[in-house]
Amino acid sequence: MTAFITHCLKSFLRLEPFFWSGIKRGRLCCVALCLSVAGIAQADTAVDLQALKLERQDTALYMSGIWRFDLPPALEDALLKGITLYFVTEVDINQERWYFYNQRVAHAERHVRLFYQPLTRRWRVNISPQPFSLGGLGMSLGQSYDSADEALNAVSRIVQWRIANATDVNLDAKQTISINFKLDLKQLPRPLQIGAAGHSDWNIGFSKTQRLELTP
């Protein structure tokens, strides 16, 4: 089945640039169809958050940690064939209230774009506080890497990420922090979204809610 996906992706990229404007949508539909057909029942990709640190410094609350997961072969193949992948980490800090719904006091997003450049054989990672579909690369920080392992390390590692103002944190109150991580299918071209949604290799995610406690 993986070979079938690879065959479709190769066909996707061999089409002549002259016809790009007219058949781009058709090529994406072909890839999406291949992914949909290949979507056999498998376990979703396991994701774990390690070395989590929540530190309050001066005027802000910072988060550090490492996402641990193995990139499925189907995604590795897609990257090598020119498909850009997007990952997003979302954090919410909520104030518990016995008399009403919990109140969200802080929200932060970290969007990561992973792309392989065949001409230079280098990997490119961009990090932005908002979806790339909204702001493009204008607000992002970017860096190139020589290997896939280096690029994935940049995707996975979070260092001193500002997630809230210090005034949002009240350790005397009952506050929780919700941390969510996923492969963001919404930023893929729409035909690819349809095919990827039914394929377990593209279902990468993590969700956890816990009491907000600062790292000593």
Q: What would the pLDDT profile of 84-132 be if each residue is shown by its tens digit?
A: 999 999 999 999 887 888 889 999 999 999 999 999 999 999 999 998 8
Instruction: Specify the range with the lowest mean pLDDT, choosing from 28-32, 90-94, 181-185.
Output: 28-32
What pLDDT does 207 receive? Answer: 96
Residue 79 lies in a domain: yes
Range 106-144 burial, b when 16+ CB lie within 10 A, else e: bebebbbbbbbeeeeeebbbbbbeebbeeeeeeebeeee
The structure's pTM equals 0.77
What pLDDT does 173 receive? Answer: 84
Residue 22 lies in a domain: no
CB 149 within 8 A of CB 116: no
Check pLDDT > 50 for residue 22: no
Residue 140 lies in a domain: yes
Tell me, rounded to whole angstroms, the distance of Cα 60 from its chain centroid.
24
Residue type, 2: T
What does the pLDDT average to over 134-154?
A: 88
Comparing 169 with 133, the larger pLDDT belongs to 169
Check pLDDT > 80 for residue 7: no
Mean of all residue pLDDT scores within the chain = 80
Residue 30 lies in a domain: no
Rounded to 10 degrees, the C-alpha dihedral 155/29/22/86 comes to -10
Q: How many helices (H) and strands (E) does the chain have?
A: 6, 9
What does the pLDDT average to over 36-54?
A: 68
Residue type, 47: V
What does the pLDDT average to over 51-71?
A: 95
What pLDDT does 21 receive? Answer: 41
For the chain, what percentages of helix, strand and coil (3-state, to nearest 5) are there? 35, 40, 30
Q: How confident is the model at residue 198 (pLDDT cuts 50, 70, 90)?
A: low
Name the residue range of residue 122's domain.
48-187+201-211
Instruction: Specify the range with the lowest mean pLDDT, choosing from 18-27, 140-149, 187-196.
Output: 18-27
Residue 40 lies in a domain: no
- Residue 202 to residue 73: CA distance in whole angstroms: 10
What pLDDT does 216 receive? Answer: 78
Token pair for 155: 């995707």
Q: Where are the alpha helices (DSSP H) in the chain?
A: 2-14, 20-37, 73-80, 132-135, 148-156, 190-197
Query: Percentage of residues in the chain with pLDDT exceeding 90?
Result: 53
What does the pLDDT average to over 59-74?
A: 94
Residue type, 180: N
Please give the tally of structural domains in the chain.
1
Range 175-184 burial, b when 16+ CB lie within 10 A, else e: bebbbebbbb
Residue 1 lies in a domain: no
Token pair for 151: 């690029």
Q: What residues contact residue 198 under an 8 Å CB cut-off, 6+ apart? A: 35, 36, 39
Residue 38 lies in a domain: no
CB 49 within 8 A of CB 206: yes
Residue type, 136: G
Which one of 11-20, 21-30, 68-77 scores highest in mean pLDDT? 68-77
Residue 150 lies in a domain: yes
